[in-house]
Structure 1
């Protein structure tokens, strides 16, 4: 009767003996032990092909971005940055009277709009911790082209930096004065921390959950197991059992004989709490990129909570990133004469902080009555309307006309102090 070691050797196992590694020929007369589930779990050629499409470990940024929670966290920040309007201001108000303002805000190059360019740069920065672009002189003036992160290697020294870029024309080394870039948080040095590497353990856990769930459903939702019997099997019975195992792998329902019993050795998705684990790991991804719970989870909330979460998203996820980009534009893109005039780049986050329609109207009234904003500023900046063009509409300190038609002291006339001259 073959022993357990015989069966182990028959499966093609290599082991060390006193004479070194060796391979034992399979024992004839009995089938090699095979899991009644899916052999792809045990490294055969089918599972090897599937593992390339469903990696179990995040070894690069592209693999990390394939995790749904990671892609959501990174893309929602990037798309939000791309949706913001880029403005240039000095101490006296907006400054859009120089060509570079239009290039950076609307047309960085002839293939990308401003929204596309800044969303791509933000995606690279949020996922990898750094984003690089190269300003070049084009036929129509200055153009800014984002560098492909897959071809970019940044070398950070103690007080120096350069970028090796493998362009289609050949390798190039770019110095800081040739580049526009911004980075994420660092731990005291120039080299930024890489967000996806910081979250690698959680990402690998999420990948394992996804692969396990896919395999579970590919196996027709059947947990793995073994079949056992106390009876002696004939060769014919062994052949029929082997055929039953193959039928089981194909999704069929075999009928075992010789007193064979099936015993599950794996757990179902319900027993493993797969849904709860995926939800918990998704929330964990939100912590790495500071995404509020209501935005990444499936729990609903009331309007007040959602508005507060939006403010948290703007304050802790968007504002730190846009502040870095604003200063990078001001310092690395604007010429010295404009900086000397006090010109600064600014992303307008106000549109994301106004709340619903009723809140926007209420805030507009408060901003005007408190003499903080003029009527024209509210019309053009908040509601996208044209300016009135009147002197009083552009002055936030202009007196308001309350038009108290039911004033008892004047017999229903407008109060004299409120009449428009």
Structure 2
């Protein structure tokens, strides 16, 4: 593998000069949110083992992502980012005449397509607040490889960044100029906030609800309880009682002796309104990632509300992240000679804002009528159709009542309905 300088030379013909990287800072990391209690019950391990076997607290990003609402919020943003087209433009229009454009848009490396790469990077950033990748020059040319977040530790100083990566070849210390990265929102410093930690309280509540409901149904909808007796149990009775409890936990029916009685100490899911609580916490989770109510809830809505919610999703969930990625690509991947030419990265969000088919056609007519877009721009950019190989089709100011379209379609003959009599 070649270094970052070789990568930048291959990307656009520029070799970066040696720079000085500020390191250190000595700032302590923000304390992670914690719970007042550890989620366990007091009592004998025999009775609490079933509950403690299931996670009731999100201590890692992976545990947080196991919550259905968290995975939905994170994955829908990531998949939307992966589905967007990545383009490069300058002041004169599209620019795809340099190797890096095709690499980032379609094949970042030989194991991932552009959609897979950007969806994976977005998933990591939306869940963890940061995503790192390493640009290299491989056997097939330019490559960009995402760093495994489970092996990545970032050290943010006051004005510095160092990334420690435990690769298969051993521990590596990577500097900013060797990496491509983008982050989420921060609260004044360089270190970004970690979304799943910000939502930890709600995630833990949701986990507790899921664990409780799962244990309730796994236990054949039997409420938790205690067994009591006024008699003293000998070793044999205690062993048989323990065996009966184990049988009860497996769904069997125990037979108690010596006046042993069972008393329920918890209500049913219906009594505790578990379903309503899960719906409430699901909507709460959507607020952390700015997912509209109709997209994460099950009540639905009318067509007008759904279209407005789609716009809200694009404006407040997708657009801030795509803007960060666009600027990160432009600043951290494009060589300065291309940036000097005005080349910028751009995700195409128009496809998600056009509405249904009728609205798309209406907007296309409006864009063409107002001389904002040419016929070819509408055909290729909006509908994926082939270009018309005529000069007038590339000019957004071409007259709308021109017969040139008819001339092209009829081999030079003006359409009869457009002929103006001169007799």
**Residues 229-249 of structure 1 deviation map (CA, whole Å, 9 limit, x = unaligned):** 78x689799898777655534
TM-score by length of 2: 0.80
Higher radius of gyration, 1 or 2: 1
Unaligned 5+ segments in structure 1 are 1-39, 404-412
2:288 match: 288
Going from structure 1 to structure 2, the CA distance change for 1:49 and 1:371 (only over 3 Å counts) comes to same
1:220 match: 220
Going from structure 1 to structure 2, the CA distance change for 1:389 and 1:247 (only over 3 Å counts) comes to same
| 2:51–2:215 contact (8 Å) kept in structure 1 | no
User: Structure 1 residue 140: deviation in Å?
Assistant: 2.5
> What does residue range 266-305 of structure 1 map to in structure 2 within 5 Å?
266-305=266-305
SS class of match (1:189): coil
1:169 match: 169
User: Structure 1 residue 171: deviation in Å?
Assistant: 0.8
2:45 match: 44
1:139 match: 139
CA–CA separation in structure 2 for the residues paired with 1:355 and 1:170: 50
CA–CA separation in structure 1 for the residues paired with 2:137 and 2:194: 31
SS class of match (2:162): strand
* Structure 1 runs (4+) greater than 3 angstroms displaced: 40-52, 226-230, 232-250, 252-263, 413-417
Q: Which moved more, 1:343-352 or 1:385-394?
A: 385-394
CA–CA separation in structure 1 for the residues paired with 2:189 and 2:77: 25
User: Structure 1 residue 51: deviation in Å?
Assistant: 4.3
1:92 match: 92
Q: Which has the higher contact order (CA 8 A, sep 6+)?
A: 2
Going from structure 1 to structure 2, the CA distance change for 1:249 and 1:338 (only over 3 Å counts) comes to closer
User: Structure 1 residue 101: deviation in Å?
Assistant: 0.3
User: Structure 1 residue 223: deviation in Å?
Assistant: 0.8
**Residues 146-205 of structure 1 deviation map (CA, whole Å, 9 limit, x = unaligned):** 111111111011111111111111111111111101011001111111111111111111
2:196 match: 196
1:313 match: 313
Going from structure 1 to structure 2, the CA distance change for 1:207 and 1:373 (only over 3 Å counts) comes to same
1:252 match: 252
> What does residue range 124-163 of structure 1 map to in structure 2 within 5 Å?
124-163=124-163
SS class of match (1:136): strand
1:184 match: 184
**Residues 192-234 of structure 1 deviation map (CA, whole Å, 9 limit, x = unaligned):** 111111111111111111111111111110112345678x689
Unaligned 5+ segments in structure 2 are 1-40, 404-415
SS class of match (2:173): strand
Number of residues of Structure 1 aligned to a counterpart in Structure 2 = 369
